[in-house]
Amino acid sequence: MNVIQRISPYRHIIESQQFDKNYLDKILKLTDEIKNKKIDVSSTLKGSVGALLFYEASTRTRLSFESAILRLGGSFIHTENARDFSSSIKGETLSDSIRVISDYADYIILRHFDDDSSKVAVKHSNIPVINAGSGKEQHPTQTLIDIYTIFQSFGRLTNLNIMLIGDLAHGRTCTSLIYLLAKFPNNKFCFVSPDNCRARPNMTMHLKNNNVLFAEHSSLEQAMAEFDGDVLYVTRVQKERFSSPSEYLKAKSQIIFKYQHLSKLKEQAIIMHPLPRVDEIDHDIDTDPRVRYFEQTKNGLYVRMALLKMMYDSMKK
């Protein structure tokens, strides 16, 4: 049997909706223990091999997963740009690639440009699959990082006012975060985006159906005037997701969080960004004590270590 084989109900990590309170409580606690070196996890994945299959460019996600595996005592095989340097370029389907790779490793970490890629992978894999980004749909491990960072700051995941700025139509980090935070009582959302990057109808309908309050704006100034919030979550306009250059140019640089906007944030608020950034947030803001985006990237290592350890531990039960 593969090292990480029997995992239920979290055999596969596919979307943020699958996380319940019990799971989040455990991963938040374990992440703290790993980050503060309260437990020794250096041999957790000893003897295991992970396959990192990345069809899209990545820096933080790929390197933090690789570092997490090594720090847990495991090893990995990978293709950094599978879209151009794997059998994909010869026309091999994702399903065939997954069938083959699942015989070479104990778990697969997949990043892919198709929205349904992780769900396709699950159907054809005999080992666990972790979604490291699927098209514009989901990025569940980034959401765990975001949740951990928010919890560190407020000690809660309820009664939060969250403003999300940027490309809400294509930004998978926003989609995953909204779905998860919408599960918690009394959370409210404010969406600020260019008109062609507004939150998709299925997302707003989900919020309405679950009686979650939200507002939508195309003007950051207007939104900031009304916002008395806790979390400001900024994202870049997703150039690679647009169907044409003209559509991208309609959205590019339309909404920028600037230094002067800081005065409109309350002292206890935090500023987040999943990175990379382009021009949607001023670099002058980086020294503000409310900034958390570099802390987010640091937390990525520890959260992904906790995630992998929980997968392995569940196999032993």
pLDDT value of position 2 = 42
1 pLDDT tier (thresholds 50, 70, 90): very low
Q: What angle do CA 11, 13, 15 make, to 5 degrees?
A: 135
How many angstroms separate the CA atoms of 26 and 22, rounded?
A: 6
pLDDT value of position 315 = 67
Tell whether 175 and 244 lie within a shared domain: yes
| Residues 6+ away with beta carbon under 8 Å from 236 | 166, 167, 171, 276, 277, 278, 280
Q: What are the pLDDT digits (tens) for 85-121?
A: 556 656 789 999 999 999 999 999 999 999 999 999 9
Q: Is residue 39 assigned to a domain?
A: yes
Tell whether 264 and 176 lie within a shared domain: yes
Letter for the amino acid at 235? T
Q: Is residue 4 assigned to a domain?
A: no
Q: Is residue 77 assigned to a domain?
A: yes
Tell whether 88 and 151 lie within a shared domain: no
Q: Is residue 10 assigned to a domain?
A: no
Tell whether 70 and 183 lie within a shared domain: no
Q: What number is the average pLDDT over the span 212-216? A: 96
Q: Is residue 107 assigned to a domain?
A: yes
Domain range spanning residue 43? 16-139+298-316
pLDDT value of position 91 = 72
Q: What are the pLDDT digits (tens) for 136-190?
A: 999 999 999 999 999 999 999 999 999 999 999 989 999 999 999 999 999 999 9
9 pLDDT tier (thresholds 50, 70, 90): low
Show the beta-strand stretches assigned E in 22-95: 49-54, 75-79
Q: Is residue 3 assigned to a domain?
A: no
First-residue to last-residue Cα distance in the chain = 14
pLDDT value of position 119 = 94
Tell whether 119 and 75 lie within a shared domain: yes
Q: What are the pLDDT digits (tens) for 20-77?
A: 999 999 999 999 999 999 999 999 999 999 999 999 989 999 999 999 999 999 999 9
pLDDT value of position 87 = 62
Tell whether 226 and 190 lie within a shared domain: yes
- 9 versus 298: the higher-pLDDT residue is 298
Tell whether 181 and 279 lie within a shared domain: yes
Tell whether 127 and 21 lie within a shared domain: yes
Tell whether 190 and 272 lie within a shared domain: yes
Tell whether 191 and 83 lie within a shared domain: no
By annotation, the residues acting in catalysis are 60-61, 90, 111, 139
Structural domains counted in the chain: 2
Q: What are the pLDDT digits (tens) for 228-286?
A: 889 999 999 887 877 788 877 877 888 999 999 999 999 999 999 999 999 999 999 99
Q: Is residue 23 assigned to a domain?
A: yes
User: Closest Cα to residue 14, out of 158, 135, 130?
Assistant: 130
Q: Is residue 5 assigned to a domain?
A: no
Tell whether 182 and 248 lie within a shared domain: yes
Consecutive H or E run containing 26: helix 21-35
Tell whether 85 and 108 lie within a shared domain: yes
Query: At 162, which CATH number?
Result: 3.40.50.1370
78 pLDDT tier (thresholds 50, 70, 90): confident
Q: What number is the average pLDDT over the span 121-135? A: 95
Is the pLDDT reported for residue 3 higher than 60?
Answer: no
